[in-house]
Amino acid sequence: MFIFDAHLDLAMNAMEWNRDLRLSVQEIRAREKGMNDKPDRGKGTVSLPELRKGNIGLVVATQIARVVEPGNPLPGWHSPQQAWAQTQGQLAWYRAMETAGEMRQIKDLPGLEDHLRNWNSGSTHAVGYILSLEGADSLVTPDHLHIAHGYGLRAVGPAHYGPGRYANGTDATGGLNENGKSLLREMRRLNIILDATHLCDDAFWDAMELYDGTIWASHNNCRALVDHNRQFNDEMIKALIEKKAVIGMALDACMMVPDWQKGISDPETMQCSLAKMVDHLDHVCQLAGNTHHVGIGTDLDGAFGKEQCPHDLETIADLQQIPALLKQRGYTEADCERIMHGNFLNLLRRAWG
């Protein structure tokens, strides 16, 4: 089945993890054997060949660069100008992949439909990607959003972890600041999709009140199943449903099973499997009363690897197991098609139509 993955940090892996994503996952792991500078060395799950193997022909691919003020223990850059430069290096990698015929940027409806035709007919192996910005810190000013839109940026998540320049994110509190509100107004003028992922509760509700454009949550699970502020509670999920949003289900173990301890817990011991993600997916469907508001947004290799993802997933190609898991729960073939690609594609068609 054709799969749309709504969140992959491909350029981050290429540039900061120094992974040649044109290689197989096994080749990348072999190159990293013996390295220990990052906890997921030798445990990656994503590469361009694996996307093709899994019929994952369209992804939302990120730029990401946080700005940190003195006293903020999170990794990041010390100025927005540095963060902007980092995102431009990531953009250059995507452009290099396009030149090499490995990827194709999708930024409008004709391009989307053309790519789907070519991929499904087998006439291209270039993985389609929609460019998204995870955390808006790198936008030196809201005017930089216009520059980014010009090079194809089509979705923005205003926050990531901690306090942000425009909005506060996971593990922080506080609503949108004035620059954040200005950013959302500019996003609306440019018809840029708002990614509600990572917004702290205060900022989330501000955004729901202010933003009347297209919204998605690229990679988010349910607080009712894993009680942490990184997740959406039921009222937040219902608000997104009312906004006709789609929520991509993530495969980070700490979001899938309760009491996960990073660097300590083991996926198999914690019974973290793809079925746990389906639990979260099913919870959203029960709240919605239908299957129109869920999709897949794996976040695989988002600074974690095999040590912190479902134990029954060896590479991203194993997403093909999900339809069978859904059917075991009583979901139909049409439901599976909506979840694996249709809901996000329909959202894009509405947004870009």
User: What CATH number is associated with residue 98?
Assistant: 3.20.20.140
Which tens digits make up the pLDDT trace of 308-328?
Answer: 999 999 999 999 999 999 999
The percent of the chain in helix, strand and coil, each rounded to the nearest 5, is 40, 15, 45
Helix, strand or coil, per DSSP, at residue 280 = helix
Which residue stretches of the chain are H helix?
A: 10-15, 25-31, 48-53, 80-99, 109-121, 144-150, 178-190, 201-210, 234-242, 253-256, 274-288, 322-328, 333-337, 343-352
* pLDDT tier for residue 75 given thresholds of 50, 70 and 90: very high
Among left, alpha and beta (phi > 0; psi -120 to 50; other), residue 330 is left
* In the predicted structure, residue 142 carries a pLDDT above the cut 90: no
Query: What is the SS3 assignment for 216?
Result: strand
Q: What is the mean pLDDT of residues 42-54?
A: 98
Spatial CB neighbours of 199, under 8 Å, sequence gap ≥ 6:
157, 158, 159, 167, 168, 169, 207
Q: Which two tokens stand for residue 65?
A: 């660069």
- Number of structural domains (the chain) is 1
**pLDDT at residue 318 in the model:** 98
* The pair of three-digit structure tokens given for residue 105, joined into one six-digit string: 């940027």
Reported as a pLDDT band with limits 50, 70 and 90, residue 333 is very high
Residue 68 has what pLDDT? 96
- Helix, strand or coil, per DSSP, at residue 324: helix
What residues have CB less than 8 Å from 173, skipping those under 6 apart? 200, 201, 202
Per-residue pLDDT for 166 more than 90? Answer: yes
Q: Which residue has the higher pLDDT, 342 or 143?
A: 342
Mean confidence (pLDDT) of the chain: 98
Which neighbouring-strand residues pair with 130? 60
Which H or E element spans position 132?
strand 127-134
Model confidence band, residue 119 (pLDDT cutoffs 50, 70, 90): very high
**pLDDT, tens digit, for every residue of 7-31?**
999 999 999 999 999 999 999 999 9
Query: Residue 229's CB: how many other CB atoms inside 10 A?
Result: 14
Reported as a single tens digit per residue, the pLDDT across 216-264 is 999 999 999 999 999 999 999 999 999 999 999 999 999 999 999 999 9
pLDDT given for residue 183 in this prediction: 97
Residue range of the domain that includes 130: 3-352
pTM for this predicted structure: 0.98
CB 291 within 8 A of CB 323: no
Q: What percent of the chain has pLDDT over 70?
A: 100
Residue with tokens 């999708």: 106
Q: Which residues of 205-218 are buried (b: 16+ CB within 10 A; e: fewer)?
A: bbbbebbebbbbbb
